[in-house]
Structure 1
Amino acid sequence: MTTQTVAPPVQAPVEPLRRNRDFLMLWIGAGVSMLGLRAGTVAYPLLVVWQGGSPVAAGLVGFAAVLPQLLVQLPAGVAVDRWDRRRVLVTCDLVGLLAMASVAAMVLHGGLWLPLLMAAAFAEGSAALVYRLAERAAVRNLVAPEQLSAALGQNEARGQAAGLVGGPAGSGLFTLAGWLPFGFAALAHLVALGTLLLIRKELQETRTPEPRRVRTEVAQGLAWVWQQRFMRAAVVLIAGSNLLFQVLALALVLVVKQHGGSPLTIGLIGMASGVGGVAGALAGPRCMRRVPMSVLICGTLVAWALLVLPVAFTSAPVLLGALFSGMSFAGALVNVVAGVHQVQVTPDALQGRVTSVFALAGSGMNSAGALAGGLLLAALGTRTTVLGVAAAMAVMAVAAVLAPAVRSGGAAA
């Protein structure tokens, strides 16, 4: 008797991300759209103040721009999971295009109508929020599973770079002409719309249509996160760290001002922080392959505690820039690690809702952190407040090390 050896099937080589046309179209379009959003957001208060508006009016526009983070987040997750993601992305770009074009037209005609500016800021903020959720959910349908960490790492680096460049671009364009930042943002949406139409693959798995209610679908996303021990712990850590960093950001402004610094100094420190964020995002995929996720998360919290502590004792811009760059490096790295895990373990039909739960935890604590920061700095002073932030971060690090859910690194999922 003779036996035949059956050779295993030969798998086709995975195409590098740089040659993955569909991923590149989505990556470029989302990056351009994000750059336009940052430029327009920076220009809102400049437009109000330079057109003779009051600080209260500028605050109202800023409030309208961030309000979607609290009101739209969970329904946006439902929309991303319920509807065709390509159509969702196209709709978001169209809404952003119309909102920014309307502001540019208003400024070109020499007027400033506060209700229109607030409505445009709210519409643009809502569209950007839904766009981010839909794009993140779509990525794993465009790349091979082994490329997911690299793809999300590039997305995180792109976001950090957009923040780094978008602010100066918005203020620079505004100095040339008041309508330019908003015209640039409208053009960015048009470019992003074009890239979406060039994507060939489907951006979600096949779904079975069924009648559903928004409240029920939101509850499904919340319940799924609650059932995952590691996810529950991650939500708490994200919320706590976001609150503390909002306090620290306000403390930095006071540190610089109290020691004779200028807004330019804060801008330069912010640029150094952005460079650290880009580097951390690019390092994320490599670190994931070599270091367990639980070690990365706990190590990030320890690093934050150690980097926050010196802020209480220095006003040197170079040192502050280095410290905040280190914090951003660690933050971007852990964003990639947590993001890859979340996308990998979450069913495709729940991607939008689960991501929206994490985003809501972060944005909600941003608002609370800004309020808490003002009260703490007024009552305790800068140094004591910063020391308190460092101590709270250290407590979170110890809690993470001791928590079985964090130590497991989500292995059960």
Structure 2
Amino acid sequence: MTESQLAGSRSFFLLWSGNALSLVGFHGARVAYPLLVLAITDSPAAAGWVGFALAAPNLIFQIPAGIAADRFARLRILMICQIVGLLAVCLVATSVLVEARHLAMLVAVAAFVEGTVYVVVDVCELGAIQDVLTAEQRPAAFAFLEAEQPIALLFGRAVGGAVYGVARWLPFIVDAATYLYCLVALARIRPNRTRSAPADPAPRSQLRDIGAGMRVVWQEPLLRASTATIGMSNLIIQVVLLLILFDLQTNGHPAWTIGVVLSAAGIGGILGAVGASWFTARWSAQLVYRAGVWVWTGLLVPIAVSDNPIVLAVCWGGVGGVGVVSNVALTLYRVAVIPEHILGRALAAMSLVGSGAVALGALAAGFLLATFGSGVVRWVVLAAMFILAVGVSRASQRP
């Protein structure tokens, strides 16, 4: 399957381009949210709370989003999400322009809403791709899907940091424009298939709906182990993210430099997406994700000893590349072993752990930086990742 075989799928490219551009705006705003709060309050703890507000929906809405993705029209859900996100970022931009009272609180509320939109879109998108493509077209489509996140990280963070340096409200206007484009693109899509009925069409209680996704993850050893590992590593990486942002700002680097450094994860992710097929063709999904944790550990060593923007950019780019390769391997495995009629709930169950850890990591990052300072936190995250890598290696050797 080659990308040329997707050339005639207008609906897929509308879906992909709309969501990809919307992600660019989201990641630009995601850089601007903590920068704005740091500028208002001069408090890394407050910035950590805003990061928590962005990521907290992962703890709350993953399972409901999975149930909705399996029960309702996914494209319609995606359109509703774009409208809600558009309203949230317009509120932030307006509040910054008029210098509204309690601005930090308004920013946190909008961040929570955007985070919720991100959760629902992430859960629904994989299923929506299956709604607009034939089974033969999906492998190539999944390759495009894996490239979506690093492209958004690259351009979103670079643009977000650059335009924030021009005006504090501008990243949110850019974000609003991307929501609007995605909404128009989604409105032009026509699904080319009828969703298949579940294997068990009997009425199900909400409790059974929630348990179905968790059960399939728990019963499959690799899904269970990799979900736990991803959760712990995501928590650590989120601390590293705020650490880099905090160090660069306190050292007097301009906002565009912060954006460039953080967008390096996008460059690494794109390279990872290009090379992922080579790794996944030769290594098992278990070996890929285990090796990824060790590579992450090595990349945190330079971050622990240097605050040079170039060093940080190179290492952060490596973190992004390793993450994408691991995600490709695990996505292929998940799609192969999870029945389609519970795919949304299973993905939501895994994301509840993986993405939920991002929320806890953002909160922990603010607390650690405010309490101990960046010097201590550098070594804490390195030690934590090393312990995780050792644990993963020992677990994989058990019969």
TM score, norm. by length of structure 2: 0.82
The 3-state SS of whatever aligns with 2:321 is helix
* Count of residues in correspondence between the two structures: 391
Q: Distance in 2 between matches of 1:311 and 1:13?
A: 38
Q: Distance in 1 between matches of 2:246 and 2:93?
A: 34
For residue 139 of structure 1, what is the aligned residue in structure 2? 129
For residue 365 of structure 1, what is the aligned residue in structure 2? 357
Q: Does 1:233 align with 2:225?
A: yes
Q: Distance in 2 between matches of 1:139 and 1:60?
A: 34
CA separation of 1:62 and 1:383: change in aligned 2, threshold 3 A: closer
For residue 396 of structure 1, what is the aligned residue in structure 2? 391
Structure 2 residues not aligned, in runs of 5+: none
Q: Distance in 2 between matches of 1:313 and 1:252?
A: 12
Q: Distance in 1 between matches of 2:79 and 2:225?
A: 34
Q: Within 5 Å, which residues of 2 pair with 1:191-202?
A: 191-202=181-192
CA offset at residue 284 of structure 1? Answer: 1.7
The 3-state SS of whatever aligns with 2:100 is coil
TM score, norm. by length of structure 1: 0.80
For residue 180 of structure 2, what is the aligned residue in structure 1? 190
For residue 68 of structure 1, what is the aligned residue in structure 2? 57
Structure 1 residues not aligned, in runs of 5+: 1-11, 405-413
For residue 78 of structure 2, what is the aligned residue in structure 1? 89
* Contact 1:31/1:158 (8 A) holds in 2: yes
Q: Distance in 2 between matches of 1:64 and 1:214?
A: 26
Q: Within 5 Å, which residues of 2 pair with 1:1-400?
A: 16-47=5-36, 55=43, 61-107=50-96, 111-112=100-101, 114=103, 116-145=106-135, 147-202=137-192, 205-207=195-197, 211-249=203-241, 252=244, 262=253, 267-370=259-362, 375=368, 378=372, 381=376, 384-399=379-394
Q: Which has the larger radius of gyration?
A: 1
Query: Which amino acid in structure 2 is aligned with residue 135 of structure 1?
Result: E
CA separation of 1:390 and 1:241: change in aligned 2, threshold 3 A: closer
**Identity rate, percent:** 35
CA separation of 1:290 and 1:23: change in aligned 2, threshold 3 A: farther
Query: Which amino acid in structure 2 is aligned with residue 39 of structure 1?
Result: G
CA separation of 1:203 and 1:335: change in aligned 2, threshold 3 A: farther
Q: Distance in 1 between matches of 2:95 and 2:210?
A: 37
Q: Which stretch of structure 1 is more off in the superposition, 308-317 or 361-370?
A: 308-317
* Contact 1:251/1:386 (8 A) holds in 2: no
The 3-state SS of whatever aligns with 1:16 is helix
Higher relative contact order (CA 8 A, sep 6+): 2
Query: Which amino acid in structure 2 is aligned with residue 201 of structure 1?
Result: P
* Contact 1:205/1:348 (8 A) holds in 2: no
Q: Distance in 2 between matches of 1:132 and 1:270?
A: 21
